[in-house]
């Protein structure tokens, strides 16, 4: 197709209106960025604070994605949502129809809407947190929010990536602004060091990933992700996936390089070096953003990439699926163990949370590896499981990942928010200085308790069900390949490990006396920060008590994605 034909086709056909309709929330965020820059340019920011502009834009985008979510979930006949549907101009041909848009570069389905909803919600909560904690100040506000929103748009692109080009663009769009955000406190030596490490590792990983993408796209002759699986079969033409075949070697190398790039974003061992340093050097708010939103975006990409590669019924390529799944499983087990062991000796709270982030990336990766193993299984080779049973198990793996990410959003944001709010009071992030805080700021400490217990996975909090679902899917995957049972064992031991270092923080907060002369941290319940942390922690409790609706939704999302 020539360029003219493509333009004709896009403008005159039904592609453009549908695409713009689905892309509406992202466009709203882009307009917010423009508005932020204009506010500064015309010196209105003294009367109209930039953080309110950013918050408003994020809220509008959130409403947009929320209406899409309800439309996709419940159809156009929800009376309470009619006004919102009309305001965003949602139609059955547009948002109502699952499928690719923007000429196949992006895809619209329940999976992408679910992730975009989570990301927009997180963006709103994040901006609200920065309003409360006062980082950035009013002079730097528009720069910071431009970077924050720009990075979020990149993550939202990542959720719908349907083409290797969008995959790479999304990775770059979410990481380049986050490098600058880590360096945001320009005068601090630590921040500049953290940013330098992050940018150098990040740029290197992106380069390697791009080279891998060029190999995958070149060997398979297509860059469109839905076609990858079929092309894998064609490229091997009946031959099996063994490493004496040069095509197989090139493809395996390419896939390995792409996974290395994604592993960097997920801070998996051995690509985790940047994570503790970047989190310690950056402000706690930025740390929270990196640890939740960029992980969610990268997991969306990883799931899409793995599903694109393994959606292949050809039994001769079972070797590819199996080695991919086991490779991910090994990486997950090593990452979770390393993160938990390294978190033991930490004295700085942000560094501890960084290692905890690494460990949680490991747990979530276990769900992906179980998914790959189950998807690659040959139904006749697994006793007691039919083809339909395998599909149901694959759905449960994805459901576990989505549930975990949803709970993780609240519990990790809560932990980082409390670190930021305590820092504003006592100007310290050392666990040492948290001694006896429970007497002065009970609401912060109780919410910290909820978030940390949920991170461990104690019932009846949300983190418990999330971990349980992942363990259940690992158990089922173990029936396909015994190695998943090993991973399950490692995960269970890790959960017990992790209890101790989280408990150390809580012990310092609740069971020791506040030292004489320490700065006081008076955060009453009836104050904006107090209400904020309660607002973030309550969903962690709720998701523990009422796990049904979310897991039902997640299962539905998985069903459509794996169809």
Partner 1 sequence: MNAYLAVAAVLFVCGVMCMATKRNGIGVLMGVELVLNGANINFVAFSKYGLLGLDGQIFSLFVIVLAAAEAAVALAIALNFYNNHLTIDVDQASELKN
Binding site for partner 1 (CB under 8 A): 164-165, 168-169, 172, 176, 179-180, 183, 186-190, 192-197, 199-200, 203-204, 206-208, 210-211, 213-215, 217-218, 221-224, 276-277, 280-281, 345-347, 351
Kindly state the smallest distance separating residue 427's Cβ from partner 1, in Å.
19
Kindly state the smallest distance separating residue 235's Cβ from partner 1, in Å.
10
**Nearest 10 degrees: Cα torsion 475, 477, 479, 482:** -90
Cis check: omega of the bond before 270, within 30 degrees of 0: yes
Instruction: Report the C-alpha gap between 130 and 181 in whole angstroms.
Output: 13
Nearer to partner 1, 280 or 399 (CB): 280
Kindly state the smallest distance separating residue 534's Cβ from partner 1, in Å.
33
Contacts of 527 (CB under 8 A, 6+ apart): none
Nearer to partner 1, 352 or 372 (CB): 352
b/e map of 21-59 (b: 16 or more CB within 10 Å)? Answer: bbbbbbebbbebbebbeebbeeeebeeeebbebbbebbb
Nearer to partner 1, 309 or 444 (CB): 309
Instruction: Report the C-alpha gap between 363 and 21 in whole angstroms.
Output: 36
Residue 148 · residue 126 · CB < 8 Å: yes
Contacts of 493 (CB under 8 A, 6+ apart): none
Could you give phi then psi for residue 241, rounded to 5 degrees?
-85, 85
Instruction: Report the C-alpha gap between 80 and 75 in whole angstroms.
Output: 12
DSSP notation for 486-515: HHHHHHHHHHHHHHHHHHHHHHHHHTSPPP
Nearer to partner 1, 210 or 392 (CB): 210
Nearest Cα residue to 461 out of 451, 474, 446: 451
Nearer to partner 1, 192 or 245 (CB): 192
Residue 172 · residue 298 · CB < 8 Å: no
Encoded tokens for 350: 């942000």
Nearer to partner 1, 182 or 377 (CB): 182
Nearer to partner 1, 49 or 204 (CB): 204
Kindly state the smallest distance separating residue 348's Cβ from partner 1, in Å.
9
Residue 525 · residue 445 · CB < 8 Å: no
Kindly state the smallest distance separating residue 510's Cβ from partner 1, in Å.
25
Nearer to partner 1, 233 or 556 (CB): 233
Helix (H, G, I), strand (E, B) or coil at 26: helix
Contacts of 289 (CB under 8 A, 6+ apart): 122, 126, 148, 151, 178, 181
Beta bridge partners of 224: 163
Q: What angle do CA 150, 156, 162 make, to 5 degrees?
A: 125
Nearer to partner 1, 333 or 342 (CB): 342
Kindly state the smallest distance separating residue 328's Cβ from partner 1, in Å.
23
Kindly state the smallest distance separating residue 347's Cβ from partner 1, in Å.
8
Kindly state the smallest distance separating residue 190's Cβ from partner 1, in Å.
6
Nearer to partner 1, 186 or 563 (CB): 186
Residue 495 · residue 455 · CB < 8 Å: no
Kindly state the smallest distance separating residue 191's Cβ from partner 1, in Å.
8
Kindly state the smallest distance separating residue 33's Cβ from partner 1, in Å.
15
Encoded tokens for 538: 């309550």
Residue 58 · residue 32 · CB < 8 Å: yes
Kindly state the smallest distance separating residue 165's Cβ from partner 1, in Å.
5
How many CB atoms neighbour CB 485 within 10 A? 14
């Amino acid at each position: 197709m020539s360029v003219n034909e493509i333009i004709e086709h896009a403008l005159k056909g039904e592609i453009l209106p549908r695409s713009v309709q689905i892309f509406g929330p992202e466009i709203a965020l882009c307009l917010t960025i423009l508005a932020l820059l204009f506010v500064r340019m015309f010196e209105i920011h003294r009367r109209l604070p930039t953080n309110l502009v950013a918050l408003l834009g994020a809220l509008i985008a959130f409403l947009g994605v929320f209406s899409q979510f309800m439309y996709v979930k419940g159809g156009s006949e929800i009376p309470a949502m009619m006004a919102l549907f009309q305001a965003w101009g949602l139609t059955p041909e547009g948002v109502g129809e699952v499928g690719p848009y923007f000429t196949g570069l992006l895809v619209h389905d329940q999976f992408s809407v679910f992730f975009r909803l989570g990301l927009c919600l997180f963006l709103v909560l994040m901006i609200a947190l920065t309003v409360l904690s006062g980082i950035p100040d009013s002079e730097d506000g528009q720069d910071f929010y431009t970077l924050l929103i720009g990075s979020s748009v990149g993550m939202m692109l990542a959720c719908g990536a349907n083409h290797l080009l969008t995959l790479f663009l999304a990775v770059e769009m979410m990481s380049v602004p986050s490098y600058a955000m880590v360096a945001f406190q320009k005068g601090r030596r630590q921040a500049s060091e953290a940013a330098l490490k992050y940018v150098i590792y990040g740029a290197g990983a992106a380069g390697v990933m791009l080279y891998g993408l060029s190999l995958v796209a070149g060997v398979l002759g297509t860059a469109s992700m839905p076609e990858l699986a079929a092309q894998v079969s064609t490229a091997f033409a009946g031959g099996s996936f063994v490493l004496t075949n040069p095509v197989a070697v090139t493809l395996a190398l390419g896939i390995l390089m792409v996974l290395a790039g994604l592993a960097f974003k997920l801070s998996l061992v051995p690509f985790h070096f940047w994570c503790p340093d970047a989190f310690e050097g950056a402000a706690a708010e930025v740390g929270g953003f990196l640890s939740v939103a960029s992980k969610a975006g990268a997991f969306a990409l990883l799931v899409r990439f793995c599903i694109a590669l393994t959606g292949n019924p050809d039994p001769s390529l079972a070797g590819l699926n199996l080695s991919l799944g086991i490779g991910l499983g090994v990486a997950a087990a090593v990452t979770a163990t390393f993160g938990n062991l390294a978190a033991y000796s930490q004295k700085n709270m942000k560094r501890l949370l960084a290692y905890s982030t690494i460990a949680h990336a490991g747990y979530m990766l276990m769900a992906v590896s179980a998914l790959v193993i189950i998807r690659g299984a040959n139904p006749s080779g697994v006793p007691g499981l039919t083809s339909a049973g395998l599909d149901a198990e694959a759905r449960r793996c994805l459901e576990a990942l989505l549930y975990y990410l949803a709970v993780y959003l609240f519990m990790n944001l809560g932990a980082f928010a409390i670190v930021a709010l305590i820092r504003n009071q006592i100007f310290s992030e050392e666990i040492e200085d948290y001694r006896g805080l429970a007497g002065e700021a009970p609401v912060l400490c109780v919410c910290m308790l909820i978030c940390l217990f949920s991170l461990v996975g104690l019932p009846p909090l949300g983190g418990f069900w999330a971990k349980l679902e992942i363990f259940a899917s690992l158990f089922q995957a173990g029936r396909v390949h015994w190695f998943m049972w090993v991973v399950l064992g490692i995960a269970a031991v890790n959960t017990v490990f992790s209890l101790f270092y989280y408990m150390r923080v809580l012990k310092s907060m609740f069971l020791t006396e506040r030292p004489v002369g320490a700065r006081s941290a008076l955060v009453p319940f009836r104050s904006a920060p107090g209400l904020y942390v309660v607002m973030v922690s309550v969903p962690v409790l709720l998701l523990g008590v009422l796990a049904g609706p979310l897991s039902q939704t997640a299962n539905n999302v998985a069903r459509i994605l794996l169809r």
